[in-house]
Amino acid sequence: MSLLGRMKETYDYIFYDLCDPRTRDWSPSPVVVYTIIPFYLYFCNKLGPQLMKDQKPFKLKRLIMIYNIFQIIASGYIVYLGLYSGWFSTYSWTCQPVDETDNPTSRTMHKAFWTYTVVKFIDMLDTVFFVLRKKDRQISFLHLFHHSMMPLASYIGLKYYPNGHATLLGLINSFVHVVMYTYYLIAGLGPKYQKYIWWKKHLTTMQLVQFATIFLHNLSALYENCGYPRWISTILCVHSLQFLYMFGNFYYVSYVKENKSNSNGNLKNGTSKVKAN
């Protein structure tokens, strides 16, 4: 067999034969997926800022409002499907194996997983909007890492293990997104609505709780052998710890350290005023 023939055989084995037969045709070619993510990173880091360098920022208020409403509805739908298809009833919270049978419950979870995967790719528009509005300072390493890893992880899960223990991640993440995009929607309505979003700080707290829960949930599957692939639980444990560290650092810099600096600044200003008097 020629080299090209072996490469095609290996490609078919990895991206077709090993896939779950119930969902392997639900997603586009892996070539498309593994092209979208690198292009996203290139556009947000290089191409986009270069194209916008001499342009005025786009005013996307109405588009972003529609986008936020879509995210709230789609994420809420995923939470509903995830609860209805197992997590509210039959799934084990400590270790849930992959259901390899074809039944209404597993099909509902597959639908939830597919919807979640599509939404994770749509999430990339968050960064595209930053670029088009020339909000480059809001494009951090954490932001890019999060929006490139989540669609990749969900795509792989959809292809190979479209139900079971790890699907709780998508349910929790979608619930957090309902709250997060509700905040974005209210914030985008204008200054007079600022009083309704006093809970901005708690969004990051929710993210931290989310990743801590995902870590503990997948850690339990490493100790209780129910047949769910332990290598996936191991990766998700490491993955959640990475995000826990990065979001924790963001929380510290944004809220704890900033509050300390403001407090010290106020004390110095107060001391100066006393001396001046």
The residues annotated as belonging to the active site are 146
Eight-class DSSP state of 24: T
Q: How far apart are CA 74 and CA 170, in angstroms?
A: 12
State the residue for tokens 């599957």.
221
Q: Residue 25, Cβ neighbours under 10 Å: how many?
A: 10
The position carrying tokens 């995000």 is 243
Q: How far apart are CA 215 and CA 231, in angstroms?
A: 14
Cβ atoms of 171 and 78 closer than 8 Å:
yes
CA atoms 178, 180, 182, 185: torsion sign = negative
CA distance 144 to 149: 8
- What span, in angstroms and rounded, lies between the C-alpha atoms of 118 and 116? 5
Q: Cα(162)–Cα(167) distance, rounded to whole angstroms? A: 8
Q: Which two tokens stand for residue 269?
A: 């200003």
H helix intervals, the chain: 3-12, 30-42, 48-52, 61-82, 104-122, 125-132, 141-160, 167-187, 200-223, 230-251, 257-276
